[in-house]
Structure 1
Amino acid sequence: MGKFFDNESTIVHKIDRSYSSIEEALKIDLDLSGRFFRKLIKSKSIIKNGKKASKKSLVKKGDTIVIFMKDEEDNNIPEDINLNIVYEDYDLIILNKEPGIVVHPTKGHNNGTVANGVAQYFKNHNINKKIRFVNRLDMDTSGIVVVAKNPFGHQQMSKQFENNQVKKSYLALVDGIVKGDGVIDEPIGKDPQDSIKNAVKADGKRAITKYEVIDRYNEASLVKLYIETGRTHQIRVHMDYIGHPIIGDTLYNKESNIIKRQALHSYSLEFKVPRNNEKVKVEANLPEDMVEAVEKLRL
């Protein structure tokens, strides 16, 4: 059947020990879920040593397994939008999203989104796959957005996020002088007074935010934040709760004369590369509006 090479649609995996079945091999070596494996077997998309594999195929050291991920249509309209790519491999694209851009189309924003830009990028690079976002950011939050190029990448990264195996950090400018580092372990739920907002509530879901002070200015601080849970508006709610709301956050604070949106940036991400489990850390530089806000605070 010819030679196969790794790309966005193909995984070529060399077996380095014997297994009782191909399912066991792919579960242990590639952390392939049972559901995804069954889907691949049903579509005859797994090849062992040049022949189509069955669920009960035996696997031994030296075997070569090839996984094909079929082409899929994406319904996002391609648009020429600048994408700041900070990391890319066969399975993932990680972007540094600018503030003010929506991640995916909605009724109010049906074009000009990150998804439209990624659709153009896929088209330019002959990546015939659906766009799968692993995480999302609010329109006015800048920073790291993870896009999977195929179902394998999406499955692997989603697992890491769900199992808290991904270390995420944010940078935020907050009101007031934060005296020291700390941990906020307070449950978050819907605000009974405002359906758009969330709030710290006794009957909410557990939420943990760690913060450390990076710099202090005149009546403001730059803090780095790590979230161990992923509640909606978690950082914004927690920082408001301890009396240091994010500057420019019109939902949990007030308008600011130094920045036109909440000064919150998804700064870094540590994760394992889906195909080889290598640990990688990517960082997204602060956008211009936050850099300018810091300069104004230093005056």
Structure 2
Amino acid sequence: MNNIEDSSTLIYKVNTEESGMTLRDILYKKMKLSGRLTRKAKRNKKIFVNDNNISLDSRLREGDVVKVIMEDEKNKFEPQNIPIDVVYEDVDLLIINKQPYIVVHPTKSHPDNTIANGIANLLLNRKETFKIRFINRLDRDTSGLLMIAKNPFAQQILSKQMQNNIVEKSYIAVVRGVIEKDFGTIDEKIGLSGDEPMIRKVIESGQRSITHYEVIERFKNATLVRLKLETGRTHQIRVHMKHIGHPLVGDKLYGDTDSNNLISRQALHAESLKFLQPRTQKEIFVRAEIPVDIKQLLQKLRGE
């Protein structure tokens, strides 16, 4: 993809080797558009070659300029004055460092005061209008990096990268007990417990889930670890660490009920993301600073 104009416009210039390819093949094979996105743009007459609408079966020549305009969709979230910490942004995506104690998007139990409402307010102040499309999710009390696509093309490409395990997601956590091995992998299936709709557990009928961990620092009765996920199951880190006997400090849902004097949430932070920029395919690495409450927790543990 080249000649970037704005978030809603995709532009591609046909080179010598691509001369003779159909417009359809350029859209699918070179520009990587999905069938759904292509059909919608075609239906709305938003696909142009040299500023003209032509058949998808037309053959293109070197130097032809293909342009696809993705129509803006209205944002459905009510703007609310909630702090949003932007750590990376480009024409296709926004990445923020989410604070703890706030849900990502409205639900029945949390209809407002969410990250989505805060981003809507950010866009209102900027006079921007793109639809908010979350690529990943974080639990209410987990802090760290959230990816938001600015257009359906970026959503399509980044979601596929997530599915194909191209996006590298790294977390840090503080867990109960001292982990003896410096490195380890937990490959255990995760599913619903059956008793509580919120709680997951390792269960044979669950979905395969893989978590890699690395010990960063050991304390008297706790361990600081970095975790990388191959899969993205709900509560995966929390369930896997409990399963091996090391629940997250502050994670009352999964067994740590005696940590009010240390931290008032699970000590889990989405620290970094590595992925390919949707248009340029350039590798992007983004890191979010460890929040104050986890820093304070580490100071307490070092002082024990």
Correspondence for 1:49: 50
Q: Which amino acid aligns with 1:177?
A: V
* C-alpha displacement of 1:129: 2.4
Maintained 8 Å contact 2:247/2:256: no
Q: Which amino acid aligns with 2:85?
A: N
Other structure's SS at 2:254 match: coil
Residues 295 and 192 of structure 1: CA distance in aligned 2, closer, same or farther (over 3 Å): same
Maintained 8 Å contact 1:171/1:225: yes
Q: How does 1:142-221 map to 2 (within 5 A)?
A: 142-180=143-181, 181-221=183-223
Maintained 8 Å contact 2:87/2:286: yes
Correspondence for 2:75: 74
**TM-score, normalised by the number of residues in structure 1:** 0.95
Q: Which runs of 5+ in 2 are unaligned?
A: none
* C-alpha displacement of 1:19: 4.7
Correspondence for 1:236: 238
Correspondence for 2:297: 293
Q: How does 1:1-299 map to 2 (within 5 A)?
A: 6-16=5-15, 17-180=18-181, 181-255=183-257, 256=259, 257-299=261-303
Q: Which amino acid aligns with 2:219?
A: Y
Identity score, percent? 46
Maintained 8 Å contact 2:248/2:256: no
Residues 124 and 22 of structure 1: CA distance in aligned 2, closer, same or farther (over 3 Å): farther
- What is the RMSD computed on CA atoms of the aligned residues? 1.4
Task: Tell me, in whole angstroms, the C-alpha distance in 1 between the residues paired with 2:63 and 2:129.
Answer: 31
* C-alpha displacement of 1:5: 5.6
Task: Tell me, in whole angstroms, the C-alpha distance in 1 between the residues paired with 2:226 and 2:76.
Answer: 37
Task: Tell me, in whole angstroms, the C-alpha distance in 2 between the residues paired with 1:223 and 1:19.
Answer: 53
* C-alpha displacement of 1:254: 2.2
- The number of aligned residues is 296
Other structure's SS at 1:118 match: helix
Of 70-79 and 236-245, the range deviating more from structure 2: 70-79
Of 137-146 and 119-128, the range deviating more from structure 2: 119-128
Task: Tell me, in whole angstroms, the C-alpha distance in 1 between the residues paired with 2:106 and 2:256.
Answer: 27
* C-alpha displacement of 1:240: 0.3
Other structure's SS at 1:285 match: coil
Of 25-34 and 156-165, the range deviating more from structure 2: 25-34
Maintained 8 Å contact 1:102/1:113: yes
Task: Tell me, in whole angstroms, the C-alpha distance in 1 between the residues paired with 2:65 and 2:79.
Answer: 37
Q: Which runs of 5+ in 1 are unaligned?
A: none
Residues 194 and 110 of structure 1: CA distance in aligned 2, closer, same or farther (over 3 Å): closer
* C-alpha displacement of 1:56: 1.6
Task: Tell me, in whole angstroms, the C-alpha distance in 1 between the residues paired with 2:4 and 2:170.
Answer: 35
Task: Tell me, in whole angstroms, the C-alpha distance in 2 between the residues paired with 1:155 and 1:8.
Answer: 14
